[in-house]
Amino acid sequence: MKIEVLTIFPEFFREVFDFGIIRRARRAEIVGINVYDLRDFATGKHRTTDDRPFGGGDGMVFKPEPIFNAVEKILGTTEREKYPPRTRVVLLTPQGKVLKQALAKELADEVENLVLICGRYEGVDERVNEVLVTDEISIGDYVLSGGEPAAIVLVDALVRLLPNALGSETSAANDSFSNGLLDFPHYTQPRDFRGLTVPEILLSGNHAEIEKWRRQKALEKTQKVRQDLLNKENG
Ligand code: 9D3
């Protein structure tokens, strides 16, 4: 998968994509990530990327031109119908569809070229949506200062789902959420840490009973903090 990130804060991304699974996936050429400064695609004397909203109101709006120029440069066209196959242009926005594991899986499976537009200010000129954007995505119901942290979250969720991105020791199939439940509790050495002991069952060697215990704990935890996950429609 190739991922192109459009932002007015390219520095925001420099280090986050250079650690752990993402770093390894880049080195193995499982994913290629490029970050572009939208200002480089702005024209005019001041190369501004934003302006005041028509109709009035607070805040600023991203101008369409730098975003159109960047997409044209990256994809060779600004016509959705002429995008290369398996291309998605995603706008990270509070108005988007909320990211869930199923959407991450869909993108990981279906997309070869992913362009991420990070919004800022009060939003992006609607013509960007009308013409360029194939998907609007939010990462949840809380207010961020911009789309950049959301883009990082999306990239992380996607890259670990790409074939061979995880080491053979781990598997995305074992992840919390893939069975619709939260994870069970984990313990490691020492058996007695400051008088806090490890549940006996985990030391028993009885793998069938351990399995049962873990499933029960996962269910209890999910019931307690994420009742919504137990309703199938929300999976
Ligand atoms: C507080 C301002 N809001 C009402 C006028 C609008 C608003 C605009 C832009 C709120 C947040 C933002 C910046 N956020 C994002 O661009 C964003 C986001 C988010 O805030 N939450 C969850 N997912 C995302 S994806 C992009």
Average pLDDT, the chain: 95
CB-side exposure of 185: number of CA atoms within 13 Å?
A: 10
How far, in Å, is the centroid of ligand 1 from the Cα of 93? 6
Q: Is the pLDDT of residue 76 over 90?
A: yes
Q: For residue 168, name the pLDDT band (cuts at 50, 70, 90).
A: low
In short, whether 144's Cβ falls inside 6 Å of ligand 1 is yes
Looking at residues 41-68, what average pLDDT do you find?
Answer: 97
Q: Is 122 a residue of the active site? A: yes
Mutate which of 5, 98, 143, 152 to test ligand 1's pocket (most atoms within 8 Å of Cβ)? Answer: 143
Query: What distance, in Å, lies between the first and last C-alpha atoms of the chain?
Result: 26
In short, whether 49's Cβ falls inside 6 Å of ligand 1 is no
Predicted local distance difference test score (pLDDT) of residue 177 = 60
Domain with CATH 1.10.1270.20 in the chain: 176-233
Q: Which of 181, 98, 78 is nearest to 138 (CA)?
A: 98
Amino acid at 169: E
Q: For residue 179, name the pLDDT band (cuts at 50, 70, 90).
A: confident
Q: Is the pLDDT of residue 213 over 60?
A: yes
Helices (H), 55-167: 64-75, 101-110, 126-131, 148-159
**Residue indicated by tokens 């752990």:** 20
Q: What percent of the chain has pLDDT over 70?
A: 94
How far, in Å, is the centroid of ligand 1 from the Cα of 38? 19
> Domain 2-159: which topology?
Alpha/beta knot (3.40.1280)
Mutate which of 90, 93, 154 to test ligand 1's pocket (most atoms within 8 Å of Cβ)? Answer: 93
pLDDT in tens, 89-137: 999 999 999 999 999 999 999 999 999 999 987 899 999 999 999 999 9
Q: For residue 10, name the pLDDT band (cuts at 50, 70, 90).
A: very high
Spatial separation of the C-alpha atoms in residues 228 and 235, rounded to whole Å: 8
Predicted local distance difference test score (pLDDT) of residue 234 = 63
User: In CATH terms, is domain 176-233 a member of 1.10.1270.20?
Assistant: yes
In short, whether 61's Cβ falls inside 6 Å of ligand 1 is no
Q: Is 94 a residue of the active site? A: yes
Cα–chain-centroid distance for residue 35? 15
Predicted local distance difference test score (pLDDT) of residue 173 = 58
Beta pairing partners, 7: 37
The catalytic residue among 37, 40, 106, 122 is 122
Predicted local distance difference test score (pLDDT) of residue 120 = 82
Q: Is the distance from CB of 223 to CB of 230 less than 8 angstroms?
A: yes
Q: Is the distance from CB of 61 to CB of 125 less than 8 angstroms?
A: yes
Predicted local distance difference test score (pLDDT) of residue 176 = 53
Amino acid at 123: G
Domain with CATH 3.40.1280.10 in the chain: 2-159
The catalytic residue among 50, 66, 148, 160 is 160
Enter the DSSP assignment of 22. Answer: H
Q: Which of 134, 140, 145, 181 is nearest to 157 (CA)?
A: 140
Enter the DSSP assignment of 96. Answer: E
Spatial separation of the C-alpha atoms in residues 91 and 96, rounded to whole Å: 8
For the CA of 58, the closest atom of ligand 1 is 5
Q: For residue 233, name the pLDDT band (cuts at 50, 70, 90).
A: low
- Cβ neighbour number for residue 76 with a 10 Å cutoff: 11
